[in-house]
Amino acid sequence: MKSNINKFYCDKCGICCRNLKGIDLYKHLDRGDGVCVFLNEATELCIIYEDRPLICRVDDMYEEYFSSHISKEEYFDMNYKACLELKRKFEKDDKNE
């Protein structure tokens, strides 16, 4: 899951938007069950995508908060790893149901 160094690639699976429970940073977006209030569950897409919060925009978060601390490549790599971990957990949870 690599992308152009200038833009973070999101496959829009919705898994990150379904796993907000217990994360203080996202509690204002959690509808109470760990799912983002702005996730359209039928399409797995954000209903406010163009106006989503900064915390949901990987590229902009990098520029705003992390560019003086870490390279873009490292930051994107960390985000891709977190994404893959969520996908692994989600697939594992689905198989156990």
Among 5-9, 30-34, 36-40, 41-45, the range scoring the smallest mean pLDDT is 5-9
pLDDT class for 1, splitting at 50, 70, 90?
very low
| Number of domains making up the chain | 1
Listed in sequence order, the residues at least 6 apart from 47 whose beta carbon sits closer than 8 Å to its beta carbon are 38, 39, 40
58 in a structural domain: yes
pLDDT of residue 6: 80
- What is the model's pTM? 0.80
31 in a structural domain: yes
Q: What share of the chain is helix, strand, coil (3-state, %, to 5)?
A: 45, 5, 45
Per-residue pLDDT at 94 exceeds 70 = no
Residue-number span of the structural domain to which 54 is assigned: 16-96
